[in-house]
Structure 1
């Protein structure tokens, strides 16, 4: 039986095929929608750089890319098969420079969220807006958690894959309506992301070190998370909120670790709103049910209007 989500992703890949760029021997995948002519004043609408999590290539954001491409330039990357996080930050900076992108909005999820924070905090001139999504406040949190606690370059790849796969299988059992999503992610885990790339992603995060303080003002930071995320515990989410001091937060009742795949339209709507492209979508509502958002010193928290499970 055809998986409709994979079919849509594969169709997207024919429309926006992944190219590559290489720096100092590290080969990255790249989806780039190219410059867009808009009616916005020059410099008003930034390009958007998308950084996937451990279980996604650039096209895992296919629904966001396709929706946003008519309005803004979108670049999404697939990670190389070696290199430390510091080298990856240099590579991403070189990518932006090569495309004459002085400053961009950056959205990263999970692993990508940690990379996005590192890029924004160490190269603040290159990042005009940070979206930190379903991510963690410190890489040290992973050191004693499987599969990150394993010898990432020498452990059997099956053990590394099982560390993620067991969580996905359990999620499928409790969320049978998301079977297509789990099949897509399992295909990524079991070979669409090559073994060396999977190991490199995990190693880059495990060796990332602590994040510096966030230099961006609150109105340039957006936090996205989900109440039922099985991989980011509540205490980590609270710590991240304190560290980022985000000007706005978008909290999904459901969506687990992958709300961009479970609720793609609402996810994209949050991006559009924070980039000033459109008003707030009615699918988002203030966390306290009143006003334009729960206001706390110019900060607002929004929740999606579906009923919690």
Structure 2
């Protein structure tokens, strides 16, 4: 990771593929669309990412898949956003899309595929959780997220990332990328809405998708999704396959882009492209 300038890479992509604005039910979404042919894929980021956080997968797959990647609006919550995304899928003609969500996006993806299975062809619940029970007891969710000064909320994220900023740290360049998001690339209203959405999220409905179209992704060194939460997700979803990263952080789509793209190829039924997952060390299936 230390040999890459992830901020520069992402910024080049963002210049070529800026977010378009799409208002659904009076909520203003950012969207990036790519690809004209192939299976449909919806990408939903976590709390610290915009639509372009998946730039490496979008570039790699845009010639073979129809991709819609989104940034959250500054209002609404999980049920509202699921309704919005269902409309976005329908309007874009992406019925049958595989829905990949990471972290916060993984919870939203589970909710969306549960309530609108007729629109969704698969679920990839990545580096996420199956229950928010008790989350309102831990920072920052224990705070009044609408009233706490935004600088206090941003400082909490910065403190968590400071340990990654050392020159010899494996995720130094990832920390630089995420700090850009924390320090204003994600506007105040959007950041508050993301935090509040998870704090107030309803319980997840039961999944109706076929079991062979449900997948999970996890990282052994994910500092936010601890082993008990990973086990809970798999118990709740009974996925056809879990893609396991040994060392990729909470953001394996950034830190392990080739492997992440390869798992998406497998889920979408695309040719492996030279990189593929085996049934061995990096898979729990």
- Give the distance between the partners of 2:19 and 2:273, measured in 1 at CA: 32
- Give the distance between the partners of 2:132 and 2:109, measured in 1 at CA: 13
TM superposition shift of 1:246: 0.3
Whose RCO is larger (CA < 8 A, sep 6+)?
2
Is residue 2:31 matched to residue 1:30? yes
- Give the distance between the partners of 1:228 and 1:58, measured in 2 at CA: 24
- Which residue matches 2:284? 301
Query: Where does the alignment leave 5 or more consecutive residues of structure 1 unmatched?
Result: 37-44, 294-299, 303-309
CA contact (8 A) 1:121 1:215 kept: yes
Higher alpha-carbon deviation: 267-276 or 209-218: 209-218
Query: Where does the alignment leave 5 or more consecutive residues of structure 2 unmatched?
Result: none
TM superposition shift of 1:281: 5.9
CA contact (8 A) 2:102 2:125 kept: yes
Higher alpha-carbon deviation: 153-162 or 195-204: 153-162
Is residue 2:103 matched to residue 1:120? no
- Which residue matches 1:196? 189
- With over 3 angstroms needed to count, the CA separation of the structure-2 counterparts of 1:67 and 1:282, relative to structure 1, is closer
- Which residue matches 1:11? 12
TM superposition shift of 1:274: 1.7
- Structure 1 vs Structure 2 CA RMSD: 2.0
Is residue 2:237 matched to residue 1:211? no
Is residue 2:265 matched to residue 1:264? no
- With over 3 angstroms needed to count, the CA separation of the structure-2 counterparts of 1:154 and 1:237, relative to structure 1, is same
Alignment of 1:109-258 (within 5 A): 109-173=102-166, 176-258=169-251
- Give the distance between the partners of 2:17 and 2:91, measured in 1 at CA: 20
Equivalent residue of 2:32, what SS?
strand
- 2:92 corresponds to which of 92, 99, 114: 99
TM-score relative to the length of structure 1:
0.86
Q: Show CA shifts across 1:216-260 (max 9, x none).
A: 222101110100100001100001000011001110000110111
- Give the distance between the partners of 1:63 and 1:28, measured in 2 at CA: 21
Aligned residues between the structures: 283
Higher alpha-carbon deviation: 242-251 or 159-168: 159-168
TM-score relative to the length of structure 2:
0.94
Is residue 2:50 matched to residue 1:46? no
Equivalent residue of 1:48, what SS?
strand
- With over 3 angstroms needed to count, the CA separation of the structure-2 counterparts of 1:156 and 1:10, relative to structure 1, is same
- Which residue matches 1:73? 66
TM superposition shift of 1:284: 3.1
- With over 3 angstroms needed to count, the CA separation of the structure-2 counterparts of 1:75 and 1:102, relative to structure 1, is same
TM superposition shift of 1:97: 1.5
- With over 3 angstroms needed to count, the CA separation of the structure-2 counterparts of 1:92 and 1:174, relative to structure 1, is same
Which protein shows a greater Rg?
Answer: 1
